[in-house]
Structure 1
Amino acid sequence: MNLSKILQINGNKYPDREALVLGEQRLTYRQWNEQADHLAQHLQQRGIQRGDKVVLMMPNVPDFAILYFAVLRAGGVVVPINVQFSRDEVAYILEDCQAKGLVVHEGVFPAVAELAKMQSSRFYVKTGPPEGRWESLGDWKSSLTRGQADTFDPMTLTEEDEVDILYTSGTTGRPKGVRFSHGNLLTVGTMTAIEFEVNLESRILHMMPLSHSAPLHLMFISAVIVGASHVFYPSFAPDLFLRLVEQERVTHFFGAPVAYLLSMQEPAFHRTDLSSVKYWLYGGAPLSKTQADAIAEGFGKDKLVCVYGLTEAGPSGTLMHHRDHHEKSGSIGRRGALFTEVEIVDEEGQPCPVGQIGEIRLRGEGMMQGYLNRSKEMAQTLKNGWVYSGDLAFRDEDGFFWIVDRKKDVIITGGINVYPKEVEDALGSHPAVEEVAVVGLPHQTWGETVTAFVVPKPGKSPLDEEAWLKEIRCFLKGKIAEYKIPRRVKVLTELPRNTSGKILKHQLKENRTGSGSYA
């Protein structure tokens, strides 16, 4: 079995069932299946063969869903990327995965328009009208007749074939591609459907970026497997979130904790009918017991579930239903999700006893195939069938897992990973910056906020921290994605270091009081 075949089956079984929804745009499973065939045929005519990569820079819209399956049916591999990526970030990914094509949404086109000058053999497509070397997706759709589509023969795929590559930043500062097979996604999608009762009558709201593993692999794929309805919106906004849940009778939603925290601040929150929802899922960012309790109180602990995992694991990991373990708010649960094993181990890979801090590792059929072009990093993360998370945790006497820190310096802000080295490298090129260290400091709403500790070069005009913040944000605009740009700056005369010269970031994190300017 493969994902493309599942959509084909659902197109035949549920031809008139509502499949893709965005405002007034409503597509049935038959229409989704037929349009995927149309575009797959066009992709093959453009030379896409088995294993070729096609990058999709699309927000949460029906065209994303159609293109995702069109690429698979043509034999290709989907590479979905964040619409907030800068031109340089997109250019790097195109070269790293040797993409044969790039499809972007009109809304983000201006930021990447010049990329069409890069490689003449690559095709470039955008929604909206054509422009220069950029072809129109609308023209692609209209160029094929129904008769042509009827003769289309999809590529024969197996569970071992590669399905997509998700890019996640590495500790070197360069994004790395995480490779998945159809079998991996069928595993985590089935897990989600069973654990959270996703079925034929479900209506899944997609407002978190489908370029991320949990929204795409857990929510999107599980809904495809069972023939559920997909309700899209290009980005998250708390007022629209509440309105869509009520209007579309949404049954399932996954979001970063910030999505729930912001929504609870909306004046309309307490008068919005949220009764249709069966499960509110949250994950992707640290959450205190106080915050978890507040969300459970606001959205209903009988419906709220904490999920923990990482991209390399599918994602899969642990889960905790608040209805069963409300007193353990702040924990990530005490069992692995379906098909998943979870352990805490020491530096030698031996299981840790109760109360001892170690690293979380996970094992299951949803685990990644590996990193693209990163054999050394893959060997560090994937060992003997286990994915090592880099998260430090302990297990209490009741068996619950509690995360205490991260081995890697990843910052999680609003559910999105930011790796300090990438920001430091970009900021280090500023002519007035002698040294810089970037860490995540606690933030009430976003979980963590990206914070830069800057040491100015000698002789440079001293700037106050507010001026430094404005300068840094202006300097980094277009170099890295907006969410990676520091929102807080602190100016120091020197960075704390140990005797080996290594920067002591834990001391910077402890230096969270006093001066500092915020965006």
Structure 2
Amino acid sequence: MPQPASSALVEALTAPALIAGARANWPDNDLVVFDRHRLTYAEADTQSALLARQLLASGVGKGCNIGLLLANSCEFVISWLAINRIGAVGVPLSTFSTAAELRQLIVHADLHSLIFQPAYLNHNYCERLTEALPSLGSGEIQYLPEAPFLRRCWMHGSAAPDWATTALMPEAPAVSENLLSAAEQAVTPGDAAAIIYTSGSTGEPKGIVHSQGSLLRQSVKQAREKQLSARDRIFSSMPFFWVGGLSYKLLPAMQSGATVMGCASSAPADILDFIEAEKITLFLGWPHAGQALENDPSFPGRKLNHLRGGYLFGALPADQRPASLTAVCNALGMTETAGPHTAGHLSMLPESLQGSFGWASEGMEYRIVDVDSGRDLDDGEAGELWLRGDTLMTGLYKRERAEVFSADGWYASKDLVIRRDGHLFFQGRCDDVVKIKGANVSPKEVEDALNALPEIAQSIVTGVTLHGKLYLGAIVATVSELDLDNLPARLRTTLSSYKVPSVFTSLPVTELPFRSSGKIDRRALIERLENAAEKNSAVP
């Protein structure tokens, strides 16, 4: 089994320094490989420099918010580096977003420019953007009432619509290399680098602002913990538009010269073909993804001895396979900390600490606080995790600092934890945000979409555990006949697919249970939903 080669990390805290260091050390190494498409470190530098010069010529400057509507691809990497190397702010948008969601995000983020791809899988982004911003259909962008700050759209690929500019066209206006160099020299670790959107408990957009320093400091930590080197080939299906793909995979790879790899297919056999052919050394992702591959009939015959770690436990030597998932250290993290804020991920645990999510990583501090009284709790007592440190966000977009942090800089995570022997043990959430396959879903947002339907008077959305897996479920109180089978399709017109519940049940509004306080008895409704889930054999 290959071992990581000793290799110094770049340890850069700005994008220009990261790009320069990576190119100097590993120019011919592949940075990313997606299906048949490959991009070396030298190519990433050259192409992102050209796009950066074109962005500067179009009026983009330091601090401008630039959206990216791009799947994991060479184009995402080129665009992200181009934006950050001139001190602009990358705003990655989920490729799952509906037209309504895109409009909401584009407006909330005050985008100056948007870089997109024409299509991916069954998504046509030209059509989706014109649906989101109808004024685009009138021709070249001047000023859009729907998005008053948007000045230009850039499209990767050919045959751009008349309201978009083709990215990376050699003849497109571009500033000089000297001007690009001057812009890069003005970039500091304290400059904003990203606004990353995730679900909040209110259902409103929650834009988490990270500096160049916080994102890249996290990437250095992850590269060290995983002992990444230029020999590593990392498979991950985690999208770059969330921190799981960005600061946990892509940026750590750049600090170490490693390669990030992926394929469009989600079929286990296709993924195994790719892992085998490309000699993947690390399979990093969610545990359920590794289990799905191990369950594929072709798995036992695969030649996977190049793997040295990650969540594909069945491919590791017998002495490195945990007896259960609780026997290896999990990780606790969030978008607000640019990924994990605990250390020890995937290390073997003694029996007394099984189920641990690790301990505070270097540069992070913890308090465990009583939710009601605000007092600090002793080890062994369950409370809310408060944290601060060097990978914590600088704030929430359009929110004042006092709304987000305590006076002395602590952030209340809403995670319920117990600390024992320095290790954290996750107990749940203080609020009701549900994490479905790695993505945060706000029940309030889904409830609002359900309640907007004429047949529904009231809805409750929550996580439902079935056969050890967590699903999103909804119970709706109806005022007229409702076709439950057609409900998911109706919701997908306004919600991303991962936000659409897998389990539905209903009752007439006249049968809603109430508590003595006059409030709806949510617990009784959730129990009814859980019972429906148990009886529903169609749940995936």
TM interval, shorter chain, is 0.7 to 0.9
Match of 1:287 in 2: none
Q: 1:218 aligns with which of 248, 273, 291?
A: 248
User: CA–CA distance in 2 between the matches of 1:356 and 1:508?
Assistant: 30
Distance change >3 Å, CA 383–CA 413, structure 1 → 2: farther
Which residues in structure 2 correspond to 1:276-355 (within 5 Å)? 276-280=306-310, 300-301=321-322, 305-321=329-345, 323-325=347-349, 327=351, 331-347=355-371, 348-355=373-380
Q: 1:385 aligns with which of 387, 409, 414?
A: 409
Distance change >3 Å, CA 504–CA 214, structure 1 → 2: farther
2:365 aligns to what SS in structure 1? strand
Q: 1:142 aligns with which of 170, 175, 179?
A: 170
Structure 1 window deviating more from structure 2 (366-375 vs 70-79): it is 70-79
Q: Does 1:513 align with 2:531?
A: yes
Deviations 1:65-112 (A, max 9, x none): 000011112331000121101111111111111101122222231333
Code of the aligned partner of 2:20: Q
2:348 aligns to what SS in structure 1? helix
Which residues in structure 2 correspond to 1:43-192 (within 5 Å)? 43-105=55-117, 106-107=119-120, 108=123, 109=125, 110-115=127-132, 117=135, 119-120=143-144, 121-135=150-164, 137=166, 140-143=168-171, 152-153=180-181, 154-155=183-184, 156-192=186-222
Distance change >3 Å, CA 235–CA 82, structure 1 → 2: farther
User: CA–CA distance in 1 between the matches of 2:501 and 2:89?
Assistant: 33
1:142 aligns to what SS in structure 2? coil
Asked whether the 8 Å contact 2:196–2:208 carries over to 1, the reply is: yes
CA displacement at 1:148 relative to structure 2: 5.7
User: CA–CA distance in 1 between the matches of 2:100 and 2:94?
Assistant: 13
1:165 aligns to what SS in structure 2? strand
Asked whether the 8 Å contact 1:279–1:304 carries over to 2, the reply is: no
User: CA–CA distance in 2 between the matches of 1:495 and 1:248?
Assistant: 56
Match of 2:392 in 1: 367
Asked whether the 8 Å contact 2:380–2:419 carries over to 1, the reply is: yes
User: CA–CA distance in 2 between the matches of 1:157 and 1:473?
Assistant: 46
User: CA–CA distance in 2 between the matches of 1:47 and 1:298?
Assistant: 57
Structure 1 window deviating more from structure 2 (214-223 vs 114-123): it is 114-123
Asked whether the 8 Å contact 1:208–1:235 carries over to 2, the reply is: no
Asked whether the 8 Å contact 1:208–1:236 carries over to 2, the reply is: no
User: CA–CA distance in 2 between the matches of 1:443 and 1:46?
Assistant: 52
How much identity, in percent, do the aligned residues show? 26
Asked whether the 8 Å contact 1:41–1:152 carries over to 2, the reply is: yes
User: CA–CA distance in 1 between the matches of 2:456 and 2:319?
Assistant: 45
2:349 aligns to what SS in structure 1? helix
Q: Does 1:471 align with 2:486?
A: yes
RMSD: 3.1
Asked whether the 8 Å contact 1:176–1:374 carries over to 2, the reply is: no
Structure 1 window deviating more from structure 2 (142-151 vs 231-240): it is 142-151
Runs of at least 5 residues in structure 2 that lack an aligned partner in the other structure:
1-12, 137-142, 145-149
User: CA–CA distance in 1 between the matches of 2:525 and 2:447?
Assistant: 14
Structure 1 window deviating more from structure 2 (491-500 vs 60-69): it is 491-500
Asked whether the 8 Å contact 1:301–1:323 carries over to 2, the reply is: no
Distance change >3 Å, CA 248–CA 341, structure 1 → 2: farther
Asked whether the 8 Å contact 2:369–2:375 carries over to 1, the reply is: yes
Structure 1 window deviating more from structure 2 (58-67 vs 106-115): it is 106-115
User: CA–CA distance in 2 between the matches of 1:222 and 1:243?
Assistant: 25
Match of 1:456 in 2: 478
Distance change >3 Å, CA 63–CA 502, structure 1 → 2: farther
Structure 1 window deviating more from structure 2 (328-337 vs 421-430): it is 328-337
